[in-house]
Amino acid sequence: MVIENGRLKELYALSYYLRKQAITMVHRAKTGHAAPALSMAELITTLYFEKMRLDPSNPKWTNRDRFVLSKGHACPIYYAALAKRGFFSEKVLETYRDLDSSLQGHPDMRKVPGCDMTTGSLGNGVSAALGMALLGKREAKDYRVFALAGDGEIQEGIVWEAIMAATHYELENFILLIDRNGLQSGGNTDSIMNIESLEEKFKAFNWNVETIDGHNINQIISAIDKASLFNGKPTAIIAKTIKGKGVSFMEGEYLWHMKAPSDSQFETALRELDEEIAKYE
């Protein structure tokens, strides 16, 4: 499916708006994971504003599509998307990481409307999403389950157990997106624990695999649409991204994995993100 140019511009502008919200939250709290949130902006925008079947007025709707942010530390932009989509007021974003806030440093399904799974311990979210997909298939439901994992997270053994199980149970309703920005908290992912070739590994587990530019919304949409063509096969979308995308001093810098910008850096970030939004107006 190719979307109209006007709608495409709206989605790109929205992705940068969500980036602004994420940066603002981290700056206000003086802590949080900004750069890992920025790399997944187009992925989360496409899911929540174009492809997923949702009803913000009924967050627990039985036939909704499910989403699990397995890289739970990147939640600032997830919270921003949920608020913009209408699950709760955007004013709540101002409480991010406050002591009694529902929006903590990792998502809590008991407190955050629209959140399908509590995550934070890396790798567990992929397995939880697998369970949701398995239940959906056994009950003959037509919803899909999306999980978004980081590439550093793919080093976890529990992820590969889930990948093996998804093939065994022929879960075509399971779509795993991998934010392949090449960096994790300690440096380059392939230096810390080489995960390549990811595409060949997934193919060896009998998955449908799509490798895309994770900042190209048309490619994201196309990869999600192709997933429905593979009956009996789960789909892995390897999205090549840039950590810190949209903020020049964060791009490709692993030391920004968890770090809040100073006041001057915050002003620079907002200016650069506003410049990106202006390109789509």
| pLDDT above 90: residue 1 | no
**Angstrom distances, CA of residue 110 to CA of 29, 54, 118:** 22, 18, 8
- For residue 108, the domain's CATH number is 3.40.50.970
- Full residue range of the structural domain in which residue 220 is found: 5-278
Pairing of strands 208-213, 66-69: unpaired
pTM of the model: 0.96
| Structure token pair of residue 171 | 């879960």
pLDDT in tens, 102-144: 999 999 999 999 999 999 999 999 999 999 999 999 999 999 9
| Total domain count, the chain | 1
Residue 3 confidence class, pLDDT cut points 50, 70, 90 = confident
Q: Are 75 and 107 in contact (CB under 8 A)?
A: yes
Number of neighbouring beta carbons within 10 Å of residue 13: 17
DSSP 183: E
Cα 90 from chain centroid (whole Å): 19
Q: 81: part of which helix (H) or strand (E)?
A: helix 75-85
What's the mean per-residue pLDDT of the chain?
96
Contact 175, 148 (CB under 8 A): no
Encode pLDDT of 36-94 as tens digits.
999 999 999 999 999 999 999 999 999 999 999 999 999 999 999 999 999 999 999 99
pLDDT band at 281 (very low <50, low <70, confident <90, very high): confident
- Per-residue pLDDT, averaged over 172-191, amounts to 95
Q: Are 48 and 41 in contact (CB under 8 A)?
A: no
Amino acid at 122: L
SS3 (DSSP) at 2: coil
